[in-house]
Structure 1
Amino acid sequence: MTQPGDYGLPGSLNRVLSDVAAERAAQDAMWGVQDHADGTGPGYGPEADLAKRAVTDAAAEGRLTWRHILHEEVLEAFAEDDAGRLRDELIQVAAVAVKWVQDLDRRTRSQEAPAPPPVTG
């Protein structure tokens, strides 16, 4: 049964989140605990504004892509220097990336699905 967030594929969200968790475990195994500065701040604001405009323009012209959407979310995160707002933006980045993977899975699955039998009557 398809659950909310499954993008029309039963278990899709759980499968993608499981894949993300496995990748995180692999990163931890390879790199251990990492402690880096955020490297974000208002200096990225103009780039974020351009990305927002690109999303708006692409949507209005019927050529919006996942790249546009993810790029905008990433640049909005880069423009934050408040830890709480940065966290919120990074959650949005992760959510868009997960949704994109679900869309890839959905499209792949629909290409692999056998054609329905011809209707006879």
Structure 2
Amino acid sequence: MASKDILAEVAAERSRQDARWGGSGHDDAMTMTEFARLIADYAGWARVKAREGALDEARLRFLQVAALAVAAVERLDRDRSGASAPAPAPRDIDWE
């Protein structure tokens, strides 16, 4: 599969995440620590699925990791431009 096709899948996953979680308003309420933890969790699930031989599930988790990384960069860019509100204190979030 070509890189452009994979990047299109990442963009589609990013759109799905925005639709589910509320877009930039949700993302701007997250800290970079929360993003890093979430990305690490999904990467860990990808590792487990790959080890189990569930390669389609591992691939999906990696696409989610890539989309989450894009969300984190987008949030950083909004912070740098002054377009986002200050993040509230860290909190527990149920991601499942």
Q: Same fold (TM over 0.5)?
A: no
Bigger Cα Rg: 1
Give the structure, 1 or 2, with the largest relative contact order (CA under 8 Å, sep 6 or more).
Answer: 2
Higher share in helix: 2
* TM-score between the two structures when normalised by the length of structure 2: 0.39
TM-score with structure 1 length normalisation?
0.33
